[in-house]
Structure 1
Amino acid sequence: MRCYSDSSTENKMMKDQEEEEFITVRVQDPRIQDQNSWASYVDYKIFLYTNSKAFTVKTSCVRRRYREFVWLRRQLQKNAGLVPLPELPGKKPFFQVNDIESIERRRQGLQQFLEKVLHTTIFLSDSQLHLFLQTQLPPAQIESCVQGRTPFSVNKAILENAMCRKSVLLREDAEAVGYECGSSPSDIQANDVETSDETPASQEEPAASGRI
């Protein structure tokens, strides 16, 4: 007896596979900032590409430093309840910005941290995570935004950052110059929030966490 496959069923299966949600995140391109200063530090490019319905913008690119990851983990922990949160790479008391091996180990650890966070469903509803990954707002402004103390909403901040990035990319095509990831929305300034001074992650006061 010859069996014939149902083409409509095959097409449906192929479509379901194509529409399967994914989230790809990359932590890369470590750069030394303020290199000639005693306060020099390393930040990293975070590139996100997804088709997940949890994200308003499907592609984004920002730059973040280690202490901002420390802040993010603490904020996520407040919403996690009993859900275990992945660890960050250990913090060295005398981290050298010119130590290539240490920087690479930290980069790998930060990427593993984000990969685990983004594959834990409960965290995908946290507005602070979205603002961290898809805007260049510093932690103090992120907290103000999710608490409703800014003239812009979470979605507006994310969309404005995406528009700014698109504008830069279009200018690149015209000028044939390198794109510096991490540009901030033009209309989202520090004076748009009630409290705009960023304090080190270890000194910030706990704030209410928002949901997206």
Structure 2
Amino acid sequence: MSGGAASAPKPLPSSGPKSLREMPHPLATSSSEEMGPALTPSPDLLLPRSIADKDLSLPNGTPVDTSSPASSSSLLNRLQLDDDLDVETRDLFVTVDDPKKHVCTMETYITYRVTTKTTRAEFDLPEYSVRRRYQDFDWLRNKLEESQPTHLIPPLPEKFVVKGVVDRFSEEFVETRRKALDKFLKRITDHPVLSFNEHFNVFLTAKDLNAYKKQGMALLSKMGESVKYVTGGYKLRSRPLEFAAIGDYLDTFSLKLGTIDRIAQRIIKEQLEYLVELREYGPVYSTWGGLEVELSEPLEGVSACIGNCCTALEELSEDMTEDFLPVLREYILYAESMKNVLKKRDQVQAEYEAKLEAIALKREDRPKAHEDNAEAITCSKPSVISQIFRDPRASRWILLHLQEILELKRGVG
């Protein structure tokens, strides 16, 4: 691993925060000098103009840099195979739909239908249909984190109502959550390891999930207490530079995203307040136009213009609320998931270092214990002879055996 990969990014200066574009990547080189002189690709390796002029991006919308010849050659194959890959290789399809509201005496909640179609041998049937509520999805994610601690588990949408949403049973909120839960299961389905997890199988197939949840609760609590006992009071000596750089990058990245989230929510709030004022302001010009006959036409035009502004502002607010904010929150939750994975790695390292220290202490205590035993035997020799055995023959017998024991101790030492 190069020195640049192990170096942590510099802290932000106190004069002002850096932009995201200035943030160093944790696995990037610290300076351009280490990369050597810039390389210019030959004309044979460049993309044709007809392809280069197109907006090349990944299926998720991420733009791809085509200036590198290596990335350009692999990009074409990736774009050509992406459409056929899902259909030919996928053997597990999961969808979340049909939300229903359940009203009970103690609580009111929403359930979603989870439909599974598969050809895997791990499933007894080719198709399943069960209903799950949000806490069932949360249970699944916790189980995946416990059983797969080294994997990054996709985040769930936040349980509590976000700002600006009053009714968590409204159609808009329920539909937004359904889309997020559907994306959560699809990401697990596409994962080569998580999709074969036993708890995921039970989540998709079990009719009574609560009965399965109760199994292993006592064992889980005991294991959690033991982990806290082992790693709770221990501090890491030093985190490896590579993971320290990633942790610092995630902290800075989360800070930037949190700032963007707060600003976006404030913008939406001000837009909605401005929209209310515009809706009250537009009819004033219409009323005014009815009173002023000569100014009727321009005043009606101003009123219509204000109405168009209201429509455009309403669409803009809806786009930010439904498209921008959920994606931004998803990035924030993904960053938190990555932090949790790093914390688990630190717990494993802390447990490893604690056991190494325990072994070292035992090795140090072993010679001291041998010396203390020899001194105790030597010091107790006169008292044993004088108090227990008054017979001279017994005294000689004891002295002889004590000398043999001391010689054996010296030989072992």
Of residues 69-78 and 46-55 in structure 1, the stretch that sits farther from structure 2 once superposed is 46-55
CA contact (8 A) 1:21 1:52 kept: no
Paired position in structure 2 for 1:123: 194
Partner secondary structure for residue 28 of structure 1? strand
Please list the CA deviations of residues 55-100 of structure 1 after superposition, one character each: whole Å capped at 9, or x if unmatched: 3322000000001111110001112222100011111158745311
Which residue of 102, 107, 111 corresponds with 2:182?
Answer: 111
Please list the CA deviations of residues 120-168 of structure 1 after superposition, one character each: whole Å capped at 9, or x if unmatched: 12223322211111112224524528x9xxxxxxxxxxxxxxxxxxxxx
- State the 1:108 CA deviation: 0.4
Gaps of 5+ in 2: 1-85, 219-413
Paired position in structure 2 for 1:82: 150
Paired position in structure 2 for 1:175: none
Distance 2:194 2:109 in 1: 28
Task: Name which one, 1 or 2, has greater alpha-carbon Rg.
Answer: 2
CA contact (8 A) 1:27 1:111 kept: yes
Distance 2:214 2:196 in 1: 15
Paired position in structure 2 for 1:135: 206
- State the 1:105 CA deviation: 0.6
Structure 1: 4+ residue segments shifted above 6 A: none
* 1:66 and 2:137 matched: no
Q: Could you tell me which amino acid in structure 2 is paired with residue 47 of structure 1?
A: T
TM-score by length of 2: 0.29
TM-score by length of 1: 0.54
Partner secondary structure for residue 215 of structure 2? helix
Q: How many residues align?
A: 130
Q: Could you tell me which amino acid in structure 2 is paired with residue 122 of structure 1?
A: V
Distance 2:167 2:181 in 1: 17
* 1:31 and 2:100 matched: yes
- State the 1:27 CA deviation: 0.3
Which residue of 215, 230, 249 corresponds with 1:144?
Answer: 215
Q: In structure 2, do the counterparts of structure 1 residues 131 and 76 end up closer, same or farther at CA, with 3 Å as the change threshold? A: same
Greater helix percent: which structure? 2
Gaps of 5+ in 1: 1-16, 148-212
Q: 1:122-201 counterparts in 2 under 5 A?
A: 122-142=193-213, 144=215
Distance 1:85 1:18 in 2: 24
Distance 2:161 2:117 in 1: 34
- State the 1:19 CA deviation: 7.1
Instruction: Give the aligned CA root-mean-square deviation in angstroms.
Output: 2.9
CA contact (8 A) 2:161 2:168 kept: no
Partner secondary structure for residue 92 of structure 1? coil
CA contact (8 A) 2:96 2:181 kept: yes
Partner secondary structure for residue 144 of structure 1? coil
